[in-house]
């Protein structure tokens, strides 16, 4: 695994999940594998779960870790090619990425979308720039369009709680007070589909997700019907693609409550967190045994650890190949 | 010691002080005791001494440490039960505490009071919420009403510098330009009383501390008389309880100066820092051999280390019990 | 090496460069030398390269490292002697330095100039205050007037790329949109002169550097002529000394471009970064094989590592001496 940006980098997903679950039982089995390897964790945006779990995962593997809030502690970055840099951003990504890449063996990066410039966001300009200007493997800690460490933790959580191989998984839009990225729901959809789940998505008209991510899912605007007999319900707000980045107006009745769920008596509730209580999901559901939200967050540690382990193994394979020649 | 929030968690204080002083001579004696245990240090507010000393203490015991400025680097937290979360705080303490508790073995937390909502502050809402939503032991790095790591360092410092078992200790209010919490003086009072010192408190009328913390102390509004023949003088500003959180107006003549001290020729001067020079205490005193303020700060390392060691021992005891059954 | 503030602390520079280059080949040779020693890294200002490389260097030597953004995470500092501290700065440098010095074995400090108070800046008030109030060795991560870790990395880079012992090195002023310190160019000038290079400096009239740093260099205001047959061209903006801290108005034609360089066909281009592309240096040059800017930044790791190693050796020598008596 020489990068981890989306489901396409996951390799054999079933094996990945099994190995992650094994780590949960035996966290320190590989504590020497990362010895002498350096992870740089770079944040353009806020982070709680991702930051704590990724740093801890890397240390569990013996890596050295350094965390930097790029905008707050270092310099604001310019991404435009050929920019005349007489504005507010004193450092170009070319130099920043080149320099950081020279210090670390693996780079972990978080960069949310602008939600104002669709082309830039969908091109993953920040990640591509880092990839272009450093030769080091890159681990996504959430990009403009995907959040694969979250999705892997979600798939692990479903694997732990599903009595059947092909559960009915519903991804339902929920109301919110702000315009949020599509990274988490799009990412979850493509991972859940790739995992072989029976995936259903429901949202008010006009809130379509990236069609590339949802190919293979049933899509509807009828929430009640879609939820029927669901095994897992993933709740999440996201903003519109057209007009791009706009928050949906209305839809307050899409909040997930006990009342809505009478037709899915055994459904488990999922959310990536942070969750707006009594806006996205009611207290009664979040505080009930139906809720898996803390399980998902706890699994973030193991999803990061298994991915870092795979990346370390690839690094070592390459080194061996090189020495072998 | 399965939590450390106030003097009530100190156990045998004399033994605690003796062990802390022994660590000062031999810092690395227990450097393996915390191996594999993870400390999460969470800050809602600024910190210099507490942050540096607590992280260092944990590492001296072999623990892994992660530091997070919650509001600045992660998400602003909602504490209200049943809140409809359509305001500025995107994450509820229930989730934040649950998640963080799942990653770490011990949580260290700093959360200053609002100074506007007395009921909330005195209920220690933030600490209680963390305690309720995680099963992990919690170490106070200063709460709304107490600062026990500071108080333990203060008692250690008195033990090192006192020629007698029961010194006369005066806690005197000092002027300041802002409204400050009562956490440090209330905490010091209850630790000093519990340590068996002869405790006297003086402040202008209307600046009473939490009576629970001061039971057993002599209280007066006559500074000159109270200071007479003091062995230790702890200087500190604090705000009023009624009206709650209000800065006292006036009292500039309560600044501690050499002139005031002619009746306590051998008194040592203490302060938790940061100190406003020439507002709370004069330069001449802070720069004189009377001042113990740097000794107190240096002892913060050992107070944190001894407390963390006790918490680690409790964790291990529990694990052993569990295995034993 | 019991401090590292300027070229005067470098000792035998040639030996220092040779040892740094040897570390580059064998980074972990001295990984036990710093075991049990604690480095405190204190930032008053933003940092990318310096922060990442210095922390990594210290860990490569086995040191424990703690990083603190003083103003953002702790308390704003007062530096004035005898100040009546009723303003915005709640902590005096006397206490802050005394406390921090009591926790760490080595202090690394970054403090940019005010560019408004020349006397204060040139007296290096912040560094002097730390030196006066702590007995611990201090490593400059850029002061008001010098940036020696950068300069050592620059000299290493020249040593790696120079075919001759005494290359022609040109330090040329470049335009910028802000007033910048003179620390980097003054520091580079004095290191390059001390390294025995043939040093030439060019800038528009009125932009003189600290004459103490440039003694031994040829100084001119004719850029084209100065650049002729240069082996290395160090590009950097700086502000005026008279009036102090003022940005130079004009000089846009001093931007370094391919067109200007026809008379120095083999010249390598250097810059400390961050660089304003197409303001200080053109894209074509920065993206060409002429550019050494990433090599310089990569060498920051080894310049920090060799200096920390020397400081550790001095600490151990002193301890041995003390035990010997």
Domain assignment present for residue B252? The answer is yes
Instruction: State both tokens at A157.
Output: 């959580």
In this structure, the answer to whether residues A83 and A139 fall within a common structural domain is yes
Dist CA A153 CA A149 (whole Å): 6
Chains in touch with C (3+ beta-carbon pairs under 8 Å) read A, B
Domain assignment present for residue B246? The answer is yes
Reported as a single tens digit per residue, the pLDDT across A236-256 is 999 999 999 999 999 999 999
Dist CA C238 CA C246 (whole Å): 9
Reported as a single tens digit per residue, the pLDDT across C278-314 is 999 999 999 999 999 999 999 999 999 999 999 999 9
User: Quick one: pLDDT at residue C320?
Assistant: 76
User: Quick one: pLDDT at residue A322?
Assistant: 61
In this structure, the answer to whether residues A216 and A288 fall within a common structural domain is yes
Dist CA B256 CA C56 (whole Å): 45
User: Quick one: pLDDT at residue B325?
Assistant: 44
In this structure, the answer to whether residues C191 and C235 fall within a common structural domain is yes
- Residues 6 or more apart whose CB falls under 8 angstroms from that of A50 comprise A110, A141, A142, A149, A150, A300
Dist CA B307 CA B106 (whole Å): 12
In this structure, the answer to whether residues A155 and A262 fall within a common structural domain is yes
Q: What is the mean pLDDT of residues A102-113?
A: 97
Supply the CATH number for residue B176's domain: 3.40.50.1370
Closest CA relative to residue C113, chosen from C80, C75, C146:
C146
User: Residue C277 and residue A90: Cβ atoms within 8 Å?
Assistant: no
Reported as a single tens digit per residue, the pLDDT across C93-141 is 999 999 999 999 999 999 999 999 999 999 998 999 999 999 899 999 9
In this structure, the answer to whether residues B40 and B168 fall within a common structural domain is no
* Confidence check: pLDDT of A95 > 80: yes
Domain assignment present for residue B204? The answer is yes
User: Quick one: pLDDT at residue B323?
Assistant: 55
C 27-86 → B contacts, CB under 8 A: 36, 38, 40, 64, 66, 68, 70, 72-75, 78, 82-86
User: Quick one: pLDDT at residue B84?
Assistant: 96
Confidence of residue C325 (pLDDT cuts 50, 70, 90): very low
DSSP 3-state of A25: helix
* C32-59 exposure pattern, b = at least 16 Cβ within 10 A, e = fewer: ebbeebbbbbbbbebbbbbbbbbbbbbb
User: Quick one: pLDDT at residue A325?
Assistant: 44
Interface test with C, best of B49, B282, B288, B304 (most C CBs within 10 A): B49
Any alpha helices (H) in C43-87, and if so which ranges?
49-60, 70-73
A111 interfacial to chain B (CB closer than 8 Å):
no
The nearest alpha carbon in chain C to B48 belongs to C74
Reported as a single tens digit per residue, the pLDDT across A145-177 is 999 999 999 999 999 999 899 999 999 999 999
The nearest alpha carbon in chain B to C40 belongs to B52
In this structure, the answer to whether residues C25 and C73 fall within a common structural domain is yes
Q: What is the mean pLDDT of residues C143-169?
A: 97
Reported as a single tens digit per residue, the pLDDT across A266-317 is 999 999 999 999 999 999 999 999 999 999 999 999 999 999 999 999 999 8
* Backbone torsions φ then ψ of C101, nearest 5 degrees: -60, -30
User: Residue A94 and residue C279: Cβ atoms within 8 Å?
Assistant: no
Q: Look over chain B and give the mean of its residue pLDDT values, rounded to a whole number.
A: 95
In this structure, the answer to whether residues A89 and A161 fall within a common structural domain is no
Neighbours of A178 (CB within 10 A): 11
Closest CA relative to residue C93, chosen from B285, B280, B274:
B274
In this structure, the answer to whether residues A82 and A174 fall within a common structural domain is no
User: Residue A94 and residue C293: Cβ atoms within 8 Å?
Assistant: no
Q: What is the mean pLDDT of residues C10-31?
A: 96
The nearest alpha carbon in chain B to C79 belongs to B277
CB C211 within 8 A of CB C141: no
Q: Look over chain C and give the mean of its residue pLDDT values, rounded to a whole number.
A: 95
Reported as a single tens digit per residue, the pLDDT across C44-56 is 999 999 999 999 9
Domain assignment present for residue B1? The answer is no
Domain assignment present for residue B233? The answer is yes
Q: Which domain holds residue B44?
A: 7-146+299-316
Task: Please list the ranges in chain B whose pLDDT falls under 50.
Answer: 324-325
A99 interfacial to chain B (CB closer than 8 Å):
no
Dist CA A133 CA A111 (whole Å): 16
In this structure, the answer to whether residues A97 and A21 fall within a common structural domain is yes
User: Quick one: pLDDT at residue B100?
Assistant: 96
User: Residue C40 and residue B47: Cβ atoms within 8 Å?
Assistant: no
CB A291 within 8 A of CB A269: yes
DSSP 3-state of A91: strand
* Confidence check: pLDDT of A318 > 90: no
DSSP 3-state of C110: strand
**B173: which strand partners?**
B236
The nearest alpha carbon in chain B to A296 belongs to B99
Q: Count the domains in chain B.
A: 2
Domain assignment present for residue B321? The answer is no
Domain assignment present for residue A1? The answer is no
In this structure, the answer to whether residues C154 and C292 fall within a common structural domain is yes
Name chain B contacts of C75, Cβ cutoff 8 Å.
Answer: 46, 48, 274
In this structure, the answer to whether residues A166 and A128 fall within a common structural domain is no
In this structure, the answer to whether residues B215 and B268 fall within a common structural domain is yes
Domain assignment present for residue A74? The answer is yes
CB-nearest partner of B69 from C40, C73, C92 = C73
């Amino acid at each position: 695994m020489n990068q981890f940006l989306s489901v396409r980098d996951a390799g054999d997903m079933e094996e990945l999940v099994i190995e992650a679950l094994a780590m949960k039982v035996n966290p320190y089995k590989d504590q020497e594998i990362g010895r002498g390897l350096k992870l740089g964790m770079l944040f353009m945006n806020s982070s709680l779960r991702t930051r704590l779990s990724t740093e801890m995962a890397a240390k569990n593997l013996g890596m050295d870790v350094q965390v930097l809030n790029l905008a707050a502690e270092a310099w604001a970055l310019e991404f435009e090619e050929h920019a005349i840099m007489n504005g507010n951003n004193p450092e170009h990504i070319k130099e920043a990425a080149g320099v950081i890449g020279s210090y670390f063996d693996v780079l972990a990066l978080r960069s949310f979308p602008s939600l104002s410039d669709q082309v830039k966001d969908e091109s993953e300009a920040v990640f591509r720039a880092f990839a272009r200007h450093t030769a080091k493997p890159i681990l996504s800690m959430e990009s403009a369009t995907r959040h694969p460490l979250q999705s892997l933790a979600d798939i692990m959580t479903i694997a732990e709680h599903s009595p059947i191989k092909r559960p009915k998984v519903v991804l339902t839009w929920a109301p919110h007070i702000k315009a949020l990225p599509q990274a988490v729901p799009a990412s979850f959809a493509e991972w859940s589909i790739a995992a072989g789940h029976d995936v259903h998505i429901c949202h008010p008209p006009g809130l379509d997700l990236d069609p590339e991510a949802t190919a293979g899912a049933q899509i509807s605007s009828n929430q009640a019907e879609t939820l029927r007999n669901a095994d897992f319900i993933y709740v999440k707000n996201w903003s519109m693609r057209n007009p791009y980045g706009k928050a949906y107006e209305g839809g307050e009745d899409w909040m997930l409550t006990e009342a809505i769920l009478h037709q899915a008596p055994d459904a488990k509730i999922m959310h990536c967190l942070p969750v707006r209580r009594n806006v996205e999901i009611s207290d009664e559901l979040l505080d009930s045994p139906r809720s898996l939200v803390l399980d998902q967050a706890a699994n973030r540690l193991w999803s990061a650890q298994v991915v870092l382990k795979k990346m370390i193994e690839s690094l070592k394979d390459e080194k061996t190949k090189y020495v072998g020649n």
